[in-house]
C-alpha cells in the first residue's frame, strides 16, 4: 500500500478490518478525503462546503461564478487557501471592499447552513436562491455520437482519485471530437463541476467550443451551473431530473442522460447532436 505522500491529492489511507472467506483480515483501505471548506468573499464568510481538498483554487473560481459572486474571472484579485484546525478556509478577494463597495441590495446573502457534499443548495435562504434561471446560452457546437462515446471511454483513465478510491465524481471538458482536455474530481458532483468551471476560467477555455461530461446524475443545479458558465452541451452518465430537463430547455442547453457506450438519451436541443 503506498504511503500518504504518494497518493493523489485528495486521497488518504485508513485501517480496515476485512471479512473475507469466513475470517477477518487487518488491512488498509484507500479513501477519498472530505473536509469542511469555508468559502469567504473579501474576508466575509459565505458558505461551508464539504469538499475533496484538491484543486481548491479552481473550486473557488467556479464556485464564485456559479454562485453569482463574480461576472468574470477578472473580477477575482486573489485567492487565499489556508488550512486551519477545523478544515480549510478559502478567501476569494474581489477588491469590491476597496473599489466598489456593494450595497445591501445587490449583495447575495450568505448561506446559513453548511453545504453538504451531495447537495448544492443547503443553506440557501430563499426560494429564488434555489431555482435560478440562467440567461440563454450561445449556439455552441454540433457533436456526434462517436464524440460522446470517445469522451466516456477516455474519461475512465483520467480520474486518479477515483482510480484509488472508487468513490468520487468527475466533471470533464471535451472538444467536439470527444477528446478530453480537463478533468476535475470531488466527492460532491456539484463541487466537481465547479472545479472544472474554475479550471476552464483560468485556462481561458471558450465554453462554446466543446461539451461537459459528468459521472453523475444531472440535477437541476448541475444544469444551472453549466448554463451560468456558458456551457451548451451537458452529457451525464446517469439520469436527469424533470426540473433539470425543464431548465435545460429554458436556457437552451442540450442535455444528454444515461450516456453509455453505444447509447444515450437526448432530452433537450437535439439539433446539437449530429
262 is in an annotated binding site: yes
Helix intervals (H) in 9-144: 56-66, 127-130
Q: What 3-state class would DSSP assign to 242?
A: helix
- Residue 47 CA to residue 60 CA, distance in Å, equals 12
11 is catalytic: no
Q: Contact at 8 Å (CB) between 39 and 60?
A: yes
261 is in an annotated binding site: yes
Helix intervals (H) in the chain: 56-66, 127-130, 145-155, 160-165, 189-203, 220-228, 242-251
- Residue 31 CA to residue 139 CA, distance in Å, equals 41
259 is in an annotated binding site: yes
- Residue 180 CA to residue 254 CA, distance in Å, equals 19
Q: Contact at 8 Å (CB) between 168 and 192?
A: yes
List, in order, residues 6 or more apart from 167 with CB less than 8 Å away: 31, 32, 187
207 is in an annotated binding site: no
19 is in an annotated binding site: no
263 is in an annotated binding site: yes
Options 11, 119, 122, 251, the catalytic residue: 119
Q: Contact at 8 Å (CB) between 58 and 186?
A: no
- Residue 129 CA to residue 111 CA, distance in Å, equals 10
List, in order, residues 6 or more apart from 104 with CB less than 8 Å away: none
Catalytic residue annotation? 119
- Report the binding-site residues: 258-263
Amino acid at each position: 500500500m503506498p504511503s500518504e505522500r504518494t497518493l493523489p491529492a485528495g486521497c488518504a489511507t485508513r485501517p480496515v478490518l476485512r471479512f473475507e472467506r469466513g475470517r477477518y483480515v487487518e488491512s488498509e483501505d484507500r479513501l477519498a478525503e472530505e473536509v469542511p471548506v469555508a468559502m469567504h468573499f473579501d474576508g466575509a464568510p459565505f458558505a461551508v462546503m464539504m469538499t475533496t481538498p484538491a484543486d481548491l483554487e479552481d473550486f473557488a473560481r467556479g464556485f464564485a461564478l456559479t454562485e453569482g459572486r463574480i461576472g468574470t474571472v477578472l473580477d477575482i484579485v486573489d485567492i487565499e487557501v489556508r488550512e486551519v484546525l477545523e478544515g480549510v478556509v478559502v478567501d476569494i478577494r474581489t477588491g469590491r471592499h476597496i473599489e466598489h463597495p456593494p450595497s445591501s441590495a445587490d449583495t447575495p446573502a450568505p448561506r446559513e447552513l453548511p453545504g453538504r457534499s451531495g447537495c448544492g443548495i443547503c443553506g440557501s435562504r430563499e426560494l429564488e436562491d434555489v431555482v435560478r434561471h440562467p440567461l440563454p446560452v450561445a449556439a455552441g457546437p454540433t457533436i456526434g455520437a462517436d464524440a460522446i462515446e470517445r469522451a466516456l471511454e477516455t474519461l475512465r483513465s483520467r480520474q486518479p482519485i477515483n482510480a484509488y478510491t472508487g468513490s468520487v465524481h468527475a466533471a470533464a471538458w471535451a472538444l467536439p471530437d470527444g477528446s478530453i482536455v480537463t478533468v476535475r474530481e470531488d466527492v460532491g458532483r456539484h463541487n466537481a463541476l465547479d472545479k472544472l468551471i474554475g479550471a476552464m476560467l483560468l485556462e481561458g477555455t471558450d465554453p462554446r467550443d466543446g461539451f461537459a461530461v459528468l459521472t453523475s446524475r444531472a440535477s437541476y443545479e448541475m444544469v444551472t451551473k453549466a448554463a451560468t458558465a456558458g456551457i451548451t452541451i451537458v452529457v451525464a452518465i446517469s439520469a436527469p431530473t424533470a426540473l433539470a430537463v425543464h431548465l435545460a430547455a429554458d436556457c437552451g442547453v442540450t442535455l444528454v442522460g444515461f450516456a453509455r457506450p453505444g447509447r444515450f438519451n437526448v432530452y433537450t436541443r437535439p439539433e446539437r447532436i449530429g
